[in-house]
Amino acid sequence: MSEPVLLLAQRAKEASRVLGVSSLQVRNDALDAMAACLREDAEAIIAANERDVAAAREKGTKDSLIDRLALDAARIEGIAHALEELRALPEVLNVVQQERTMYNGMQLQRVSVPLGVVAMVYEARPNVTADAAGICVKTGNACILRGGSLAFNSCMAITDSLRRALLKVGLPADCVQMVQSSDRSATDELLHARGLVDLLIPRGGAGLINHCVENATVPIIETGTGNCHVYVEASADLSIAKNILINAKCRRYGVCNAAETLLVDASIASAFLPEACAALAEKGVAMHCDDASYAIASEVPGAVVTHATEEDWATEYLAPEIAIRCVSGVEEAVGHINTYGTMHSEAIVTNSDEAAAYFQRNVDASSVYVNAPTSFTDGGEFGLGAEIGISTQKLHARGPFALEALTSYKYLITGTGQVR
């Protein structure tokens, strides 16, 4: 029998008051213990994950989502190592951000503090359980986790391990809790837990994120669906462009920083697309093309090519599929991206400083690349440590966000008897 969500939230609030004033040493010791317990419990976690993977395959789940779901010894070691990397990051709590003497002689400081209770709603990625818990512990925040039904057994096994680790260092186990119901009503309870949940972060597909954004009465950070683009401008080195395209699209299909649309200057389409489409076809990527690119791609042996619809320009495939469109130049490319993109990650390949500057200045996205693939949008790659998400909104956090985004601040004022 699962526990009521509001009861979990109340216990998390109580635990947050202990965790929020704990020392950096205690929180770092907790991260070490969490990593150690994950390694000790690896066999049990893998066994739980195997049940999830088997059930997902029976449901006909896409291979790209199975890849996100599956755990093995190497992936668990990676999860544990990420917690240890968090330990090595500097303290973000109790940092004096501002300090000054007021007009009346009182001393004022602005100091960073935890948010309190962070709720995380996510889908079939069990590694997020440990990443989110670790980031929250490092920042002094209790967390309530609500994993997807496909990963239920995996998430519960990881959570049990993390809670055992917290007790070892004298912290409340309720600093990390997992919602044990897969019913959407459990998510809705979190969305409306005002006064208990200080921040909610949805991480998953467009349906999940839109539901949370449209229904939440607690503060929320919208993490990204990633309809990302690679634009090959007329002056680009075509060999570099092909490598960037293949890395952005094919490194992993089921991740939000994967490229979903290729834009190509029409003036170089006949020079670039035959080799680019052949490379995509070799990887098994189906292509949804506008008329100009269809005429070229359809001549490539082995290519799976269809005519693109309006829906294709707005689709996050998370699969070996890509949309392709020819454009007249950088202005049309930027216009297309700002119309159909999700403000996640966008890339231009060019040898023109002017085109690069125009693209970076005018594209509205959290991460804008010149001559590099969108696959670099990642907290670890940006030096932030394990990320808790990639924000596609503009308030509080934008792009990959981690420790600092889970803090707020308060003012500390010291007087000597002044009155107003």
115-156 pLDDT, tens digit per residue, is 999 999 988 789 999 999 999 999 999 999 999 889 999 999
At 229 the three-state DSSP class reads: strand
User: In angstroms, what CA-CA distances link 228 with 66, 313, 377?
Assistant: 22, 10, 11
Q: Is the pLDDT of residue 360 over 50?
A: yes
266 phi and psi, to 5 degrees?
-60, -30
Please tell me the predicted confidence (pLDDT) of residue 204. 78
Q: How far apart are CA 133 and CA 79, in angstroms?
A: 11
Cα-Cα-Cα-Cα torsion 139, 131, 2, 19, nearest 10 degrees, comes to -20
Strands 107-114 and 407-414: antiparallel
Phi-psi region of 113 (alpha: psi -120 to 50; beta: other; left: phi over 0): beta
In the chain, the amino acid numbered 37 is: C
**Count of Cβ atoms closer than 10 Å to residue 192 Cβ:** 15
Q: Is the pLDDT of residue 6 over 60?
A: yes
The pLDDT tens digits of the residues spanning 371-398 come to 999 999 988 888 876 678 888 888 888 8
Tokens of 394: 């503009």
The percentage of the chain sitting over the pLDDT mark of 70, rounded to a whole number, equals: 99
Q: Is the pLDDT of residue 70 over 50?
A: yes
Mean pLDDT of the chain: 94
Which of 243-252, 369-378, 381-390, 406-415 has the lowest average pLDDT?
A: 381-390
Tokens of 28: 């770092």
At 151 the three-state DSSP class reads: helix
The upper half-sphere exposure of residue 335, i.e. CA atoms within 13 Å in the direction of its Cβ, equals: 8
Tokens of 123: 């889908």
Q: What is the mean pLDDT of residues 330-344?
A: 97
**What are the residues whose beta carbons fall under 8 Å from the beta carbon of 141, sequence distance 6 or more?**
16, 19, 20, 114, 115, 116, 117, 118, 198, 406
Phi-psi region of 384 (alpha: psi -120 to 50; beta: other; left: phi over 0): alpha
Tokens of 140: 């002094």
pTM: 0.83
What Rg value do the Cα atoms of the chain yield, rounded?
24
Q: What is the mean pLDDT of residues 164-169?
A: 98
Confidence of residue 1 (pLDDT cuts 50, 70, 90): very low
Tokens of 250: 């094919």
Query: Which of 382, 310, 373 lies closest to 340, judged by CA?
Result: 310
Which of 92-101, 275-284, 385-394 has the lowest average pLDDT?
A: 385-394
